[in-house]
Structure 1
Amino acid sequence: MTTAQQLRYCSRCGHRLAADNPFPMCSPCQSASVEAHARPPAVPPEFWRLDQMRDALATWHMGRVIFAYRHHPYHRQMLSQELVGTWLGLTQAQLSRIENGRAPEELSKLIRYSQILGIPVALLWFDLPGEPRVRPPAESRPSVLLPIVVGGREVVVPIDAEAAESAGLETLIASTSRADSPQRQAAHLLPFAGVDELRHMAAALEDARRYLDGSVVGFFAQQFERCKTDDGEAGPLRVLPLVLGVLGAIQHHAHDVRPQVRRELLAVGADGAEFAGWLYRDLHDPGSAAYWYDRAMEWAQEAQDSPMQAYVLVKKSQMAYDGRELARMLNLAEAAGRACTTAPPAVRAEQLQQEALALATHGEPLVVIERKLEAAHRALNMGGDAGTHFTAITLQLRAAAVYTEAGVPDRAAGIFADILATDTLSRRDTGLFSARRAAALALSGHPDEAAAVALDALQIARATNSGRTSAILADVAQSLTPWRSRPGPREFREAMLA
């Protein structure tokens, strides 16, 4: 008696397979599969409207864009680096370096990658040959456009319309909604400048040696200060484009100006580059952060700005702490103290606090650590904290982080709670230090309260795109593992995975 042959079906389309086909797919699906692996799929327009794609594109970092592309839910499963690297003509190791290193700058490669992946021209931060970006009409107002002239080319930076309105620009934006408005072009050039300033800046960027003077350098400094204020409420993705645009203008024109103006320009550039490093740290992009910290140090050295050199060393020490490079963290903190013995009181206080944190990570006795914190308080009191970013409240918050590392998390949680209750921190910092409070509570054995605080911090972290806060919350979730069956920790874990 003969047995009927078992029927087999295509794993992709479900049609019955031919009896002589040993493969799991039918011939048409095999061809389609080979085609799919040979080039990227055609994706619908809404593919690029997903928040994770928009956020990645806003960083001007092609590696982050490719990472978001690979993890897009449209693909149903994550695309491997090997597959996407094949499309782009890269090995897996090369693509990994692009995704995790500093932002690629070679224009020809940026153009090639964007064309292969099919990124819409309007979403790019550079022009494709023969395909200039289409400027959105003022009526739609997705942003106010800021062209920065670099090398005679216009590089357009999108400035969030809501942020512009919050700066008191509602009337100006409304007046530019008509295509024939004489103010429209001025508003699109620089939303925070008057017409006279615009003319002066245009002349400066065309002939840097003749026109780029202290007033233009001061204007660049004002833009950085405005961005620092906006960052606390809106997060790094809202302000990074403007910061990179101004840094690009400084970098391009620094060699064209008079020596005295060059020193002033590089001093401002060092401040902006340090801020860019912080923004990338907040985005959890250490490769780009390290690049901008190195650039800040180079410019500060040429500008003979010793306090900035010490300050950058402190920031490098903080980044080493983020990556748990504890020996390097301590060495950099001590180097910052030696770099500038005449640093302003606020910088000296932050450097001493960083040394205290480093000592805590190395297991030094609490009395030694507190002696260093007391020295930080004395340094800050010598000059006061008016007009500085490092205030008495900042020092208390940093001291709380030191106590967490020193094995006294109960004390740290109390300090965090007292300062958060004053409601004086920016939105982003509220999320950051709420996450640190949650971490201290978890280490203190208060899982329910830790989970509740962490849930609030998670909402802020996602609203402000703070990767640094999200990384701390991931550690909190790990610390709450022993209590994962309790309602609070379980709800927080589910929210983290959502």
Structure 2
Amino acid sequence: MSQDQGRLPPQFWSAPAMAAALAECDIPAVLAEVQRANGWTQGQLAEAVGYSQSWVSKVVRNRQPLTVDQVREISIRIGVPLHLLRFGARGDDDPTKRRDFGKAVALTALTALPLPRRAEVDETTAPTLTSITGAQRRLEATTPARELARGAVAHVNLANRILGRAGRSDFAGDIRAVMSEAAGFAAWVHADMHDTGTSRTYYRLAIGSARQAEHSLLAAYMIGSLAAFEIDTDDSVLALGLLTQARRELGERPPATARAWLFSIEALGHATVHDAPAALTALRQAESAVVASERASAPPWPWVFPFDHAKLAGYRALVMVRLGRADEAVAAFAESLSSVQPAAKQRGVLMTEIAAAKAMSGEHYEAFHLASNALTVGVTYGSERTIQRVRRFRRTYDGPMTADVRAFDEHLRATLL
């Protein structure tokens, strides 16, 4: 809308209702009169003054306090004659006195407006909170978990307080979904710190919040994430039960991407308890789901990732390591890494898995070289999860005590001390 559009004739500003509104610096009344005279919608009024519709709505309802600069800016945009901004200097021709009088009247009128209230929840609140979680996730790839944990917890608490203000409004469901995502990230950060108890607490909060939001896909994702966490902490039986629950959350027609991811986690769970037939069956089901997801016109799983053949190859590699199939594991790792370059901390985890495959193949030098590098990654990025993976690799190694193994043990002792 150009600045000349909606310009009103001079007599409009001297009409009794408008004159009274200008005298009292009643900007809500001024805006309402301008909107009525132009036949504008509130959206068109917002465009004219250069602010959002939600902000203008709060001003009109006397719920948005204004600064003197904002009063001046709005007045210029809607064409209030400049001399009226002095708020009637009552015949005093001294420019300095007129300016002081104008400021005094403006400030007096502004103090008569309702005091600022706590920010209300509106359509911008959930996207803003979600963007914070997204920024934290991007930082997580290369930032020690302990540096992120306090902020992650604070963000969950902030979302919870805002949810309290949302009450039963139309935005409450979106805020609950936001809190689920924030809690899921807090769970992940604490898992990286190897604080399993706190991690489980936040996963439970994430699942409960998603269910309260009636967001079945989000609930299934959080349950699947908890299942992957339980596999990592050596409780695959519990994890497999959680995966059954995740599928139940998704209903009868789950997205293909969700099915591919859940079957991949299931394959890993079966492999961890050395059930090769079940693990291989789950991998085949995951493969079929990946193919189906490529044919689907729907976008990839929201706020997560596209689950493609490279992702599946990474899971296949982990499954083969647990099943003791070294050659297949190395080939799957090669396929996965040719398409996907993992972030630093994830690279440390993968190096321990490849080290295990190399050790099974008798390539001890390569195995312990990889494990030593993974240990360095874990220490550098403060990832207890990576360090624990490296320690697990060492505990399960039963090969010869070579010079490479002794050098690795020295590196591990130095790290722990």
Partner residue of 1:174? none
Tell me which moved more, 358-367 or 317-326: 358-367
- Residue of structure 1 aligned with 2:320, choices 403, 412, 427: 403
Distance 1:250 1:319 in 2: 24
1:290 deviates by 0.5
- Residue of structure 2 aligned with 1:291, choices 184, 197, 201: 201
Partner residue of 2:138? 229
- Residue of structure 2 aligned with 1:375, choices 269, 281, 288: 288
Cα contact 2:348–2:373 (8 A) shared by 1? yes
- Residue of structure 2 aligned with 1:412, choices 323, 326, 329: 329
Distance 1:467 1:388 in 2: 24
Partner residue of 1:495? 411
Distance 2:213 2:365 in 1: 51
Segments of 5+ residues of structure 1 without an aligned counterpart are 1-204
Partner residue of 1:480? 397
- Residue of structure 1 aligned with 2:262, choices 323, 334, 351: 351
Aligned pairs (5 A) from 1:173-192: none
The amino acid across from 1:351 in the alignment is L
- Residue of structure 1 aligned with 2:151, choices 233, 237, 242: 242
Q: Please say if 1:334 is aligned against 2:244.
A: yes
Partner residue of 1:311? 221
Distance 1:443 1:306 in 2: 41
Tell me which moved more, 223-232 or 423-432: 423-432
Aligned pairs (5 A) from 1:248-327: 248-259=157-168, 260-327=170-237
Could you say which structure has the greater relative contact order, defined with CA pairs below 8 angstroms and 6 or more residues apart? Answer: 2
**TM-score of the aligned structures, taking structure 2 as reference length:** 0.65
Residue by residue, what CA displacement relative to the aligned partner does 1:234-260 show, whole Å, maximum 9, x if unpaired? 232232222222211111231221422
Partner SS state of residue 483, structure 1: coil
Distance 2:375 2:351 in 1: 9
Distance 2:345 2:125 in 1: 30
- Residue of structure 2 aligned with 1:471, choices 362, 377, 388: 388
Cα contact 2:184–2:202 (8 A) shared by 1? yes
The amino acid across from 1:268 in the alignment is V
Residue by residue, what CA displacement relative to the aligned partner does 1:209-252 show, whole Å, maximum 9, x if unpaired? xx122212211100100111111122322322222222111112
> Greater CA radius of gyration, 1 or 2?
2
**TM-score of the aligned structures, taking structure 1 as reference length:** 0.55
Partner SS state of residue 124, structure 2: helix
1:416 deviates by 2.2
Segments of 5+ residues of structure 2 without an aligned counterpart are 1-115
Structure in which a larger fraction of residues adopt helix: 2
Partner SS state of residue 295, structure 1: helix
The amino acid across from 2:125 in the alignment is V
Residue by residue, what CA displacement relative to the aligned partner does 1:15-56 show, whole Å, maximum 9, x if unpaired? xxxxxxxxxxxxxxxxxxxxxxxxxxxxxxxxxxxxxxxxxx
Distance 2:205 2:260 in 1: 24
Q: Please say if 1:426 is aligned against 2:335.
A: no
Cα contact 1:442–1:476 (8 A) shared by 2? no
1:497 deviates by 0.9
Partner SS state of residue 234, structure 1: coil
Cα contact 2:264–2:312 (8 A) shared by 1? yes
Q: Please say if 1:360 is aligned against 2:271.
A: yes
Partner residue of 2:307? 391
Distance 2:330 2:256 in 1: 27
Q: CA RMSD in A?
A: 2.4
Cα contact 1:356–1:372 (8 A) shared by 2? no
Partner residue of 2:75? none
Distance 2:218 2:312 in 1: 19
Partner residue of 2:355? 438
Distance 1:219 1:298 in 2: 22
% identical aligned pairs: 22
- Alignment coverage as a number of residue pairs: 292
Structure 1 residues 452, 409: CA separation in 2 closer, same or farther (over 3 Å shift)? Answer: same
Distance 1:233 1:491 in 2: 27
1:288 deviates by 0.5
Structure 1 residues 384, 493: CA separation in 2 closer, same or farther (over 3 Å shift)? Answer: farther
The amino acid across from 1:264 in the alignment is D
Cα contact 1:355–1:372 (8 A) shared by 2? no
